[in-house]
Structure 1
Amino acid sequence: MPSAVVSRRVSVAALRFGRLASMSVVAVLILVAGVWASWGDAQHVMLPKGREQGTVRVTRCGESRCSGSFASSSPGVGARSAVVLERSVAVRPGGLYAVVVKPGSDVAVRSGPAGVLFAWVPLGGALLLASVVVAGGLRRTRAAWVLAGSGVVLLTAAFVLV
């Protein structure tokens, strides 16, 4: 009989470790994916040194992108007839937006505080999703509340500033 009890304890401990390990991996992968998705635009906004900066006056918008004329504020760089800006609820035809142009392309991303927060929106969503995994899979409610609170603050700040 004692060997059955020991065997059961070992199997319960192994299952608990497996659950914690797998849910930890899932939570970390969600957060890494959020950072990865955000960094594509955030690097240009947060590290603008050496990149073309200026303003774009949006003239027309399609379903997913807007375009307009670009006036550079970088020294030694001329104006461009057209750059492309991702369409969001905050980009409207006729609007003037501060942007940074991605090197080697005509794609622009919003700059300034609004651009930084908008670039990190995917991370905000990943924080919210990871909080559910941490709360349910890892049963760490305090850590889950911290993750969820951080995600909500980031998304709310982006919504207010953009």
Structure 2
Amino acid sequence: CTIDLNPIRYVSDAGNFIRYVSDFKPLKMATFQAGINEDDKNNNGTWRVRIRLYHNKITKYIPTHHYVTKGQITKKFDIKDQFLIDILDDTIKGYRKKVSALGIQAASFTCEELREYLQRDEHQKIDYFAFAKDLINKISTKGTGVMQILP
């Protein structure tokens, strides 16, 4: 008989329960929130809306193409324009869908890698040769000296 109370697990051994503490840590999904930084006011009196990405205890920001004026925000600099909130919610739902599609792989991404993944165009073509040259130039192996790819 096994009773599983994550991260503690109890296993029956001839009627006696033995306690095992596993290294299992539940995965936490990245969180998103749209907002503005009150210090980032443009010369024309607008603020750029950014989506805050929090993942693995690190925060990064994803810029959007939306801007707000003083009339679209509260005194605490929260967005109050419902039309814009709905658009941003749809964007955040799309980001959550992409992260969910990664499954358990999402845990291995750093916050910066996840941000780059979310900003990447889904139909972006990958130039294999450019990728390979870049990868080879990044690889450094002891005893091989300097490696350079000729055009």
TM-score by length of 1: 0.27
Q: Greater relative contact order: 1 or 2 (C-alpha under 8 angstroms, separation 6 or more)? A: 1
Structure with the higher strand share, 1 or 2: 2
Structure with the higher helix share, 1 or 2: 1
TM-score by length of 2: 0.28
